[in-house]
Amino acid sequence: MQVHREVDAIGMNCPLPILRTKKTLAEMQSGEVLKLKATDSGASHDIPAFCKQTGNELLATDNEGDAMIFYVKRR
């Protein structure tokens, strides 16, 4: 999967991972993919809900050590 931007929200608590994701997606073009790394336990529910509300597509989730990885395609 081609990733165009990456947000490292490791160690950040809610709502910072969502805010960083929202800000970065706003700077991206339609169809581009964002990779988000987060350790906040709420991100597992917050990121899918954010994508559903905003119309962005959650392509995949993964784990990398203690971090959750989210791939979000910009609407």
Residues carrying an active site annotation: 14
* Cβ–Cβ under 8 Å, residues 21 and 30: no
CA separation (Å) from 19 to 1, 8, 36, 47?
24, 12, 12, 11
* Cβ–Cβ under 8 Å, residues 75 and 51: no
Strand pairing category for 5-9 and 33-38: parallel
